[in-house]
Each structure stands twice: as C-alpha cells, then as structure tokens.
Amino acid sequence: MSDDLELRRQMVATCRRMNDSGINQGTAGNLSVRNAAGFLITATSLPYDQMEPEDLVQMFFDGTYEGRRRPSSEWRFHRDILQARQDINVVLHCHSVYATTLAVHHKTIPSFHYMTGVAGGTTIRCASYATFGTQALSDAALEALQDRLACLLGQHGQISLGKTLPAALALAIEVETLSRLYVQALTLGEPPILSDEEMARVIQQMKNMSYGQAPDLDGVNDIARPRTPAS
C-alpha cells in the first residue's frame, strides 16, 4: 500500500471521527495534511460519510491542485497556516457548537480553566470576522494562531492544529469541551481567571508530559514513584 493511499485513508477516518464526536455536521468543516508534494485537503461540498480516499485533493503551495474534485473553499487558510507553521502538519477546521457560540460573540477563551493551556498559551484567541474562503480570513486566522495551536474564528467556528491527525482531532474536541465549560460558567457570571504565572507552570508541565515525563513541579510526584522490584 502506498504511503499516499494510507494517508488518504487516515484522513477519511479522521473526518468521520469528527462527525462521530459531534464537532462536525453535514458538509461543514475541512481537514488538510502536509505531504511531500504540498498538502492533501478535503473536497468542497462533500459529506464525510460519502467521502472516499480518492476524493481528497492534492494541493500545492502555489494555489494549484490536482484531483477529481475541487478543494475546500477554505484552502487559503490551510495553505497559509501550513506554509507559516513548520511545527505542525495538520489543520482541522469545524463549526463545533459551543466554540461557534463563543465565536459569534467574538469571545476569546481566557484561562478560566488550566486546560486552556493545551492550545499553547494563556488564552484561545478569537480571530476577527472575515468572509469565508477569503485571504482576509486567512490573515485573521494566522494572527490569532500566533504562538497557539488553536483559535476561534469570529462568527464562524474553530481551527485546531497538530503534528498528527490524532493530535489535531484531540485538540479540536478539547477546544469544544472548554468552550462548553466556559459558556456554562458564564451563566453564573464572569469566572475567576488563573494568573499568567500559574499558567506558565501549567504549560511547562504539559510540555513535560508531551515529552513522556510526568510533571515534577511543586512536589506533585512526592507520592507517585515507580515501584522497585522486590529482590
């Protein structure tokens, strides 16, 4: 099996998981993955449950494409993000309900919960509104994603990034979960916000864990230690 076909199959499977998880509906949302030639992207106006590997479109960074279908109307921000961010390989966009609820109010998600740090900073920013598919939207998304792995798009939806397909999907689901928590917290009033100093500790511990190390700040491992085999 060629690497290209396997990647296409993984993309189709991820798209269907987007639907199964509830973060995507109908033909909304799109997905791209960097490859040797440029990037593969989902086709425009094709429901994920009808998508086959051959329907994914090969795009190039000059804006041209090859394939039996046309690329997503949002190809510009996929191209521009992948071109600007060599640290990631996957761009996932969806209109998940609670993230979009915040986006229609142009609300940035603050560090009301420590898991906000999963996107790489103290906030998950909301980009300014621009018409879908335009260069203006791509420019706004790039600004909101500066030093971040996720953002909201004003009156539109969310974008989540990752080095791998599972990582991007997991982040998109986490952004939706945080969005739901924030919407519900706001019904009781503005929640308290964790300090930048605390979020710096949180983000460092998250980085440690991503490197395969358990957090070791402030004595959190004082009790949990590897067991020494009995002699």
Q: Distance (Å, rounded) from C-alpha 41 to C-alpha 61?
A: 12
User: Is-contact 39 92, C-beta < 8 A?
Assistant: no
Residue 6 annotated as catalytic? no
Element (H, E) at 72: none
Lookup: tokens for 134: 């335009």
Beta bridge partners, 222, equal none
The amino acid that residue 39 corresponds to is F
Residue 184's alpha-carbon distances to 112, 154, 179, in angstroms, are: 12, 20, 9
**Per-residue burial over 153-170, b = 16 or more CB atoms within 10 Å of its CB, e = otherwise:** bbbbbbbbbbeebebbbb
Lookup: tokens for 66: 């090859």
Q: Distance (Å, rounded) from C-alpha 200 to C-alpha 113?
A: 13
- N residues, the chain: 231
Q: Distance (Å, rounded) from C-alpha 124 to C-alpha 30?
A: 20
* Residue tagged 């917290």 (tokens): 185
Q: Which of 66, 74, 143, 176 is catalytic?
A: 74
Three-state DSSP at 85 gives: coil
Active centre residues (catalytic)? 74
